[in-house]
Structure 1
Amino acid sequence: MGKICRKPFALLFITAILFGTLGGCDKSPSKTGTLMDFVPENASMVFKISNLKNLQADIEANSLLSMFEKTGPYLFFAEKSVFFKKLHPTAQSLLCINILNDSVSAFTFISKHTENLFQVDSIKNKTVETLQIDKKSFQRITIDASKSGRSPEIAYTAQIDSVFVISSSQKILQDILKGKTERDATFKKVFNLPSSNGFTALMRGNRIAVADSTKIDFTSWSALDVAIAPESLTATGITLATDSIPQLLNVFKEQVPQHNDVAALVPTDALGALSFTFNDAEAFQNNLRTFRGENPILKTTGIFGSVSEVGSISLKSETAIFIKSIDPSLTNDALARFVSSKSMFRETEISSFSEPDLFQKTFSPFINYKKANYVFQLENFFVFTESEETAAQIISSFQNNATLKNTSYFKNTAQDLSSASSLLIFKMQGEFSETISDFFNSKSRADFKNISFDKFPLAALQFSFDRNFAHVTLSCKESGGATKSISGRVSEKFNIQLENPLLGNPHVVKGKNGSVKIVVQDIGNKLYFISESGKILWSKNLGAPILGKIEEVEISGGNQIAFVTQDTFYILDRNGKDVKGFPIKFKDKITRPLSVFDYDNNRNYRFVVVQDKEVFMYDKNGKTVKGFGFNKTQSSIVLSPVHIRMGNKDYIVIAEENGKLNILSRVGKPRISISKKFNFSDIPIAEEDNNFVVITKENTKERIAQDGKVSTLKLNVGNNYWFLVEENTKVTKDDNLLRINGKLVELPLGLYTVPKLFNIGRKTYITITETQEKKVYVFDKNGETLNGFPVYGTSEAAMGEGSSTGLVVKGEANSIVFYGIN
């Protein structure tokens, strides 16, 4: 970090492809005392951060941003700097970036002062000096990092009333102490925009890269709410232009955003595309002439009178221009005097075009291309190229449906975009590196030398003009590989192989930002946490197999996973870290899977661990629940304890090897006395019609009323019977006969896993796998098979909901298959 740092824009690098930074200010003083009042003059970027530690964890987990860990900009957010490690804000904070020259930037961090905000006392090898200039005192902190081979880190701190400020620049801190802070009225407007997001980026003097990468003044300030997930970076917000200086956004004034269809034309191997729209061609051209400082009454051809979308497509060899007509016959008539037939390719006529610089004259700076030598028509598109070879390439891609619109990654990105916009920019094939290095610093190309963006096939930036501002959307997502279409509603998202064969069945748990995560263990006892795109986010060696199911809990924000091995009780957060108070180690062997009780659905969990005859109950802090009085059974416990609620009463049910069924209250006292003994099977004890249900090894169904009376029903079923009931859904399996809420589903003869039931949103799904033919079936609660099933799989399947409903199952011995269900 220190006094000088490289430019800190890794977080919004896709925007960097298109935006640069420039300012203006109003010197009137402010006395409001908000964090905004301490933002340094001429800050190029200001990040509003709700939770610094969560943000740092999100950035380190993001597969794109983590590529920048060896670059200077990454240090602003990752905990690589000693100073940032010691910052612990408890409320919103600001990180401000000032560009000092072409290669040097400074940071300033601002937050409300709290007792443990900046723990300077714990920093080793430091020198703290108190300085006073112009009667303003502040501290200079120098950290000697010579032992690690790094240069010393220097920062300057001050407390101004209730606000703490730390900066890498002494001058910036002194200016803040003197009240020389950001007064720009547009900045104040974007700063005060409401946001429900935990991370917002404010960017000054935005520039946009168009045509031949020339960067043009676009707007004054932008405010983007940024969402960081492990495989994606998305942002939404607004950008503001002023009338005092020429800014490109203003050419869209009084133009209604039109539908963008360029994705239907762009070949999948293109490097990018730019599309802009208008509803009044003449007014739009006049706005462009005014922006360029030209005579607004200069006449051009009438080709564009029936056009609503224009743009360019960047290919590996050259650039193509396109226009989209709302009336192709009118456009053909307008083009007639400029074209002459040249050749045919796959029944498409390619004509020479006599005005190759027309688009540069008309639409500069959006288009600076002067080699539109050939033209051809594809439906309502008219495409202009430099060569016939490129024309043939685009025609082939269009006819073979090998265009951006038909890719899974575009469909994934399109969910974030509006169908209509003023300006839309695509960057494809991960071809960002040179642009990024230019944006960061011409001297920092080495930082990007070994960074590959191949897993990010598409980045999109969209602007939709609305009165005197534009809505902005940014989307960049990692591709999970080519999506393999299976049938109608189902697609194979990924099929990955682990180092060793799998142990047990894969599990699905909730992730952040509406995603799902897959959790699985291999025979080496390594636990894997995998994204829905197939990326291994982390792994952890446990030393022993997990017993039974992995449970999902919410203890301290976000989702955690809870489970036991034969000697340890774990609760891990979504980054694979132990939750405070865990793990809990045991000397004696744990004999049953973990039980999790949430009596009142308020996340005040009770965790039950079984060691043969002994029962231990813990709270969410890992402390023993002292109010639970049931400690030991007479014989070994044969099933994990379950919690059943009937009416307003809670019951804890514990089955013993000697046939005794203990039905207890919350505090562990006997609640129902049962004289009958049962030969318990592996089927968990359930609740049906306000009765406890026990399925015995003799295939009897024992119904136990709340007064302790028992009724017995002999089941005429085979040895592979299973019983499952949850809320309003009841499922039974008798060999290949599956019944769902009474409806019989006769499956092909085979060997089936036990059925599993999943409630996702407002829908209920039942999964079952035939292990010989390796087929996974999914049914709804009406007993109807979902379209596209069965699919390949060899184990019990688990389901969850992310960007779409997903199903995970074991494939071969060491592989995991994840399916998306639309």
Structure 2
Amino acid sequence: MGKIHRKLFALLLLAPMFLGIFGSCDKTPSKTGTLMDFVPENASLVFKISKLENLQADIEASSLLSKFEKTAPYSFFTEKTALFKNLQPTSQSLLCINEMNDSVSAFTFISKHSKNLFQLDSIKNKTVETLQIDKQAFQRITIDKQIAYSAIIDSVFVVSSSQQILQDILKGKTERDATFKKVFNLPSSNGFTALVRGNKIAATDAIKIDFTSWSALDVAIAPESFSATGITLATDSIPQLLNVFERQSPQYNHLAAIVPTDALGALSFTFNDAETFQNKLRLFRGEKNTTKTTGIFGSVSEVGSIQLKNETAIFIKSIDASLTDDALARFVSAKSMFREIEISSFSEPQLFQKTFSPFINSEKANYVFQLENFFVFTESESTAEQLISSFQNNATLKNTSYFENTAQDLSTASSLLIFKMQGEFSEPIASFFNSKSRAGIKNISFDKFPLAALQFSFDRNFAHLTLSCREAGASAKSVSGGVSEKFNIKLESPILGNPQLVEGKNGSNNVVVQDIGNKLYFISENGKILWTKNLGTGILGKVEEVEISGGKQIAFVTQDGFYIIDRNGKDVKGFPIKFKDKITQPLSVFDYDNNRNYRFVVVQGKEVLMYDKNGKIVKGFGFSKTKSEIVQSPVHIRMSNKDYIVIAEENGKLNILSRVGKTRVSVSKNFKFSEIPIVEEDNYFVVITTENTKERISQDGKISSQKLDVSSNYWFTILNRTKVTKDDNLLRIDGKLIELPLGLYTHPQLFKINRNIYITITETQEKKVYVFDKNGKLLNGFPVYGTSAASMAEGSATGLVVKGEANSVVFYSVN
């Protein structure tokens, strides 16, 4: 991909950079015919400039072009350069660039001669010599050791950095190509037009690519963007790659939906007649024999490649996936499964290179998998998994704000579309710098320019051409400015329960997760397993975070034990506490005064045991036993500066106790408790029953009932003042309705992070994790892939952890 249009990208992006030096001009341009006659032979770029003063201001304000300020060409072509700051043309001007060799380019400036065009009288440190060679008279001008050569020919002023070029112009050796004259004379409403010669670049050792003849582009420079639109012309006299799109209608480009945001680039080409397109490519390559096609591409409208950091992936977009799947069947054999996507080996790894060279040159299409109507081919299984993850997490170009901005400049359908990403267009640009300047390019950061797009749409005997590069701001690297997958780690056995985030050392996030072998894992936010511990039985409910002495610990219960473990995997002194009788509810942790004087409540059937942070029974707590089984973990509620301990029994009795275990509120009514925990709302205790009633109990024991018109899947939860309910696919956040896609959802969970409230919920059939803020807005980048309830935590960066496949933990970084 990069070889086909590397120089074209560079020329278009560099075009304005060469022009930062030419003062101002008259607003009324003259006829251009005479100027065209002095364009040097073999110029690779010709710029038509009408309003130099405006152009220079645009260039200086451009956040992209300013990146090259310290490179040699930019320094040479600046208004500070004494030779050029004194040029003051009063009509349209031309700037021509000739490539002298791989590292040196020469310029030639052409304009109608006028009285004040080039004033030398006031210039110090200058030398002006008149030379005559082969009866040709011209001047050699030296200012501050910079040399240029000038002449006035038929009232046209010409100055060049190359003596040879000027002499050739004087001899009449100028650009005579008929196609150049066509593009030169195309009408333009823009003050800055770039004429670009189609450059020949080696695609392989055996093939030389001639893509097109000349392109004419109107260039627009804004502080945060650089774009160009125009046409490009190919000729029939010699084979040119653009002509393979003849009689092919541009098709919709879908590649942004499959390209990961961390890719370096991508290419897509489209066709509506696969057989004709392949025949034209064979003719272009000079192949006389018609090779047999596999029939795979008959139902395909788009083919492309994705340049990743370590390899190149290939994709095809089918208009009928079942037909394409049938055509592929004899070339594939099942290899593995990843996130319910089958990855198969592919027996024709050279197929795409043989069929679509020079557009695609990869010969390692070893594996194939299907994502909707895309069939993707990779060199390795690990890359296949990477692409599947990005697609399922919406971590693709289509879901980014910077692609949306760039897409405004592009057509939805085109013949050829090229993306350069992660600032990778800096290397093509560097090819037009001398060797000294290339070192400077490596130190330039293009983080704010994550995407440049070049698009060709064939139309009769020419193609429309569009270039766009826009600044994206600080969120350029994250998916839609929001979320990116940090790691996906597989455990020894399937996961038991849900992974959970806890705070680690130095403000980092750590993952706590248990597998069905009852092994507990403690994993860093970088995916490294820090330690494991065999517990012998499963953890009940959630792990609680505490801080007993010198750092954070995790506290939890199993059926036979109460554990507190530090961040290094060591048991805190006095723990674990083992029990003969079965523990029946998850651990409750109370911190009445937020002073870390914790009370830990363990439930065994009807018994309530309260421990202090040293593992000792709290003697001052007088409530020890209920009349029937306890059906929920006891909760602590603080209301009106009073502490309440709430315990629900199977027989319907609601115990509302003081810190010491005495009845604080007498409740006269029995309830059919559901799994929804008892909470405080507006200074009332709230119970949601299995009969879908909402019971509100005041602090003096008065009860009011409300019948809820909801399904059996209803859920109610509250954190601080943020209230969330779920009724099938209807999610309400503080009363704001969010209608989720139909599906099976986990209970919504609320997390307080950086003083903000976030709500997580997972659809378990489509395996999508949603995160909303307290205003009901879905966070950028979501939903992402996940199969369980998701846990969030505040650390050095906000993290989210969720179960992936049966034995895998997926960690996301959320902005």
Matched, 1:50 2:42: no
- The 2-side partners of 1:8 and 1:234 are apart by 14
1:232-311 mapped onto 2 (5 Å cutoff) = 232-295=225-288, 297-311=290-304
Go from structure 1 to structure 2 and tell me whether the alpha carbon gap of 1:35 and 1:216 turns closer, same or farther (over 3 Å shift).
same
Is the Cα contact below 8 Å between 1:217 and 1:246 reproduced in 2?
A: yes
Normalised by the length of structure 1, the TM-score is 0.54
Specify which of 350, 364, 376 is matched with residue 369 of structure 2. Answer: 376
Report the secondary structure of 1:390's partner residue: helix
Is 2:119 the partner of 1:99?
A: no
Equivalence for 2:395: 402
Other-structure match for 2:307: 314
Q: Does 1:481 align with 2:474?
A: yes
Map 1:104-119 onto structure 2 (within 5 A): 104-119=104-119
- Paired with 2:298 and 2:160, the residues of 1 have a C-alpha distance of 55
**Structure 2 residue aligned with 1:132:** 132
Once the two structures are superposed, residues 515-535 of structure 1 have per-residue CA deviations (whole angstroms, 9 ceiling, x without a partner) of xxxxxxxxxxxxxxxxxxxxx
- In 1, the alpha carbon distance for the partners of 2:206 and 2:340 equals 35
Q: Which amino acid aligns with 2:399?
A: N
Q: Counterparts in 2 of 1:337-376, with a 5 A limit? A: 337-376=330-369
Deviation digits for residues 188-232 of structure 1 (CA, Å, limit 9, x no counterpart): 011001111111111113347879999732111111111111111
Amino acid in the other structure paired with 2:397: L
Which blocks of at least 5 consecutive residues in structure 1 are unaligned?
A: 1-6, 17-30, 146-151, 493-787, 793-822
Q: Distance in 1 between matches of 2:73 and 2:444?
A: 14
- CA displacement, residues 369-395 of structure 1 (integer Å, 9 cap, x when unaligned): 111111111110000111111111111
Q: CA deviation at 1:34?
A: 1.4
Deviations 1:522-578 (A, max 9, x none): xxxxxxxxxxxxxxxxxxxxxxxxxxxxxxxxxxxxxxxxxxxxxxxxxxxxxxxxx
Backbone CA RMSD of aligned residues: 3.2
**Residues 346 and 365 of structure 2 are in contact (CA less than 8 Å); yes or no, is this contact kept in structure 1?**
yes
Does the 8 Å CA contact 2:272/2:301 hold for their aligned counterparts?
yes
What is the rounded CA distance, in whole Å, between the counterparts of 1:8 and 1:76 in structure 2? 22
* d(CA) in 1 for partners of 2:63, 2:208: 28
What's the secondary structure of 2:131's corresponding residue? Answer: strand
* 1:440 partner SS: coil
For the 8 Å contact 2:104–2:433, the answer to whether it is kept is: no
Contact 1:352 1:375 in 2 (8 A): yes
Aligned counterparts of 1:340 and 1:484: Cα–Cα separation in 2 = 36
Matching of residues 425-440 of structure 1 within 5 Å: 425-440=418-433
CA distance in 1, matches of 2:14, 2:287: 32
The alpha-carbon distance between structure 1 residues 243 and 261, as it changes in their structure 2 partners (threshold 3 A), is: same
Would the alpha carbon gap of residues 791 and 324 (structure 1) be closer, same or farther in structure 2, given more than 3 Å must change? closer
Query: Cα deviations across residues 585-622 of structure 1 (Å, max 9, x unaligned)?
Result: xxxxxxxxxxxxxxxxxxxxxxxxxxxxxxxxxxxxxx
Alignment of 1:127-276 (within 5 A): 127-143=127-143, 145=144, 152-207=145-200, 216-276=209-269
| Residue type at the aligned position of 1:67 | K
One-letter identity of the residue aligned with 1:218: F
Distance 1:404 1:243 in 2: 36
Q: Distance in 2 between matches of 1:346 and 1:298?
A: 38
Aligned to 2:407: 414
Structure 1 residues 211 and 232, CA gap change in structure 2 (3 angstroms): farther
Q: Which runs of structure 2 are paired with 1:651-690 in the superposition (5 Å)? A: none
* Structure 1 residues 791 and 215: CA distance shift in structure 2, 3 A: farther
How far apart are 1:160 and its partner, in Å? Answer: 1.7
CA contact (8 A) 1:9 1:440 kept: no
Q: Across the two proteins, how many residue pairs are aligned to each other?
A: 468
The separation in 2 between residues aligned to 1:188 and 1:253, in whole angstroms, is: 23
Hey, what's the Cα distance between the residues in 2 that align with 1:321 and 1:141? 54
- 1:173, CA displacement in angstroms? 1.6
Question: Whole-Å Cα distance in 2 between the matches of residues 432 and 371 of structure 1?
Answer: 25
Q: Deviations over 1:709-762 (max 9, x none)?
A: xxxxxxxxxxxxxxxxxxxxxxxxxxxxxxxxxxxxxxxxxxxxxxxxxxxxxx
> Cα–Cα, structure 1 residues 415 and 261, in superposed 2: closer, same or farther, change >3 Å?
same
Rg larger in structure: 2
Q: What do the CA deviations read for 1:273-308 (whole angstroms, capped 9, x no partner)?
A: 100001100000000101111125221210000000
On the 8 A contact 2:129/2:139 being kept in 1, the answer is yes
Within 1, Cα distance between the matches of 2:13 and 2:389? 33
Q: TM-score, length-normalised on structure 2?
A: 0.54
Structure 1 residues 242, 110: CA separation in 2 closer, same or farther (over 3 Å shift)? same
1:181 deviation in Å? 1.4
Flag the 1:790–1:127 CA change in 2: closer, same or farther, 3 A: farther
| Sequence identity percentage | 81
User: Shift of the alpha carbon at 1:83?
Assistant: 1.6
Amino acid across the alignment from 2:45? M
The 5-angstrom pairing of residues 579-618 of structure 1 reads: none
Which residue does the alignment assign to 1:71? 71
Other-structure match for 1:744? none
The Cα of 1:400 is off from its aligned counterpart by 1.1
Q: 1:163 to 1:154 in 2, by over 3 A?
A: same
Letter matched to residue 139 of structure 2: Q
- Cα distance change of structure 1 residues 204 and 262 upon mapping to structure 2, 3 Å threshold: same
Contact 1:8 1:76 (C-alpha < 8 Å) held by counterparts: no
Q: Check whether the contact 2:149–2:162 (CA below 8 A) recurs between aligned residues.
A: yes
**Secondary structure of the equivalent of 1:246?**
coil
Of 325, 333, 337, the residue aligned with 2:326 is: 333
Listed as ranges, the matches of 1:505-520 within 5 Å are none
Hey, what's the Cα distance between the residues in 2 that align with 1:110 and 1:360? 45
SS in 1 for 2:147: strand
* Secondary structure of 2:36 counterpart: helix
Tell me if the contact between 2:11 and 2:196 (Cα under 8 Å) persists in the aligned partners.
no
Kindly tell me: are residues 137 and 14 of structure 1, through their superposed partners in 2, closer, same or farther at Cα, counting changes over 3 Å? Answer: closer
Contact 2:260 2:397 in 1 (8 A): yes
- The alpha-carbon deviation at position 419 of structure 1 amounts to 0.5
Decide whether the 8 Å contact of 1:156 with 1:170 is kept in 2.
yes
CA distance in 1, matches of 2:413, 2:12: 23
Q: Secondary structure at the match of 2:127?
A: strand
Report the equivalent of 1:13.
13
For residue 481 of structure 1, give the secondary structure of its aligned residue in structure 2. coil
- C-alpha distance in 2 between matches for 1:356 and 1:371: 5
2 CA distance for matches of 1:213 and 1:435? 22
Q: Quick one: structure 1 residues 14 and 169, their matched pair in 2 at CA, closer, same or farther if it must change by over 3 Å?
A: closer
Residue 122 of structure 2 corresponds to 122
Cα distance between partner residues in 2 of 1:295 and 1:429? 40
Distance 1:454 1:79 in 2: 28
2:425–2:452 contact (8 Å) kept in structure 1 = no
Q: C-alpha separation between the residues in 1 aligned to 2:79 and 2:14? A: 23
Secondary structure of 1:127's counterpart equals strand
Q: What is the correspondence of 1:797-816 to structure 2 with a 5 Å cutoff? A: none
Whole-angstrom CA distance in 2 between matches of 1:186 and 1:261: 33
Distance in 1 between the 2:68 and 2:15 partners? Answer: 16
Task: Using the TM superposition, give the Cα deviation of residue 443 of structure 1 relative to its aligned residue in structure 2, in angstroms.
Answer: 5.4
Alpha carbons 1:290, 1:296 under 8 Å: kept = no
Tell me how far 1:45 sits from its aligned partner. Answer: 1.0
Deviations 1:91-148 (A, max 9, x none): 21000112222222221101111221112212111111222334432221112x2xxx
Do the aligned partners of residues 257 and 207 (structure 1) sit closer, same or farther apart at CA in structure 2, a change above 3 Å counting? farther
